[in-house]
């Protein structure tokens, strides 16, 4: 069974696909909803603005099929960076925009001291686990990942946050609810630890098939 990487015009598809393959996945870049018929799990990468991301998902016919697969059929899902944020109810970037609404919450701009902390938050940073998580189980030592973002997901229910990061303010670095796994950092840019995160996602995905 393949892992689908969604092509909606917003993602760094090549690097995400290659990282998944290095982690052991059989990857298909899904360019249309029918490509999901024979997949075991879904990965939604993304760089860019929330509003444009949702515009592309709607315009390419992804919203309903993704919601059916993830929310109704409970297919394992991994959202990366913008792909994490789009799972929220709304995003503030370029004005309020309705998101996928899978996990209640809002995506807001980082509110930090601009002299001490740059926005976008770009580079390596440590995260801290806030509860047990399928993606981080058994991983030892410092958890340092690569970030590139100006906005962050604030869930209505903080119990879904599995890891936090501090860049002038604490924000959700990872969110986990049932089959939905969301990370603000880029595992495909995070070297060995990033591959471990992808391996954990794949292990859970294939275990459910």
pLDDT tens per residue across span 125-136: 999 999 999 999
- For 96-108, what is each residue's pLDDT tens digit? 999 999 999 999 9
From the list 93, 176, 188, 199, the catalytic residue is 188
Pairwise CA distance, residues 21 & 17, whole Å? 6
How sure is the predictor about 11, in pLDDT bands with cuts at 50, 70 and 90? Answer: confident
Catalytic residue among 14, 81, 181, 199: 81
**Looking at domain 2-207, which CATH architecture does it have?**
3-Layer(aba) Sandwich (3.40)
Is residue 177's pLDDT more than 70?
yes
Domain coordinates of the chain in residue numbers? 2-207
What's the predicted TM-score (pTM) here? Answer: 0.96
Whether residue 176 contacts residue 162, with contact meaning beta carbons closer than 8 Å, is answered with yes
Candidate list 167, 176, 186, 199, residue with the active-site label: 186
Q: Is 186 a catalytic residue?
A: yes
What's residue 93's pLDDT?
87
Is 52 catalytic? The answer is no
To the query of whether residue 188 is one of the catalytic residues in this protein, the response is yes
């Amino acid at each position: 069974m393949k892992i689908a990487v969604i092509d909606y015009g917003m993602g760094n598809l090549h690097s995400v696909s290659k990282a998944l393959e290095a982690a052991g996945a059989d990857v298909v870049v899904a360019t249309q909803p029918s490509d999901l018929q024979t997949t075991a799990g879904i990965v939604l990468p993304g760089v860019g603005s929330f509003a444009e991301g949702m515009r592309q998902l709607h315009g390419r016919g992804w919203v309903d099929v993704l919601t059916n697969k993830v929310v109704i059929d409970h297919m394992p899902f991994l959202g990366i960076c913008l792909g994490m944020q789009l799972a929220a109810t709304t995003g503030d970037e370029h004005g309020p925009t309705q998101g996928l609404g899978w996990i209640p919450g809002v995506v807001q701009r980082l509110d930090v001291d601009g002299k001490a902390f740059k926005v976008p938050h770009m580079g390596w940073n440590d995260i801290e686990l806030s509860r047990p998580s399928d993606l981080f189980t058994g991983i030892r030592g410092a958890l340092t990942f690569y970030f590139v973002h100006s906005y962050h997901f604030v869930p209505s229910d903080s119990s879904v946050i599995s890891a936090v990061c501090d860049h002038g303010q604490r924000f959700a670095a990872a969110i986990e609810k049932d089959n939905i796994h969301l990370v603000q950092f880029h595992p495909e840019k995070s070297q060995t630890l990033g591959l471990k995160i992808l391996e954990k996602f794949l292990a859970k995905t294939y275990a459910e098939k």
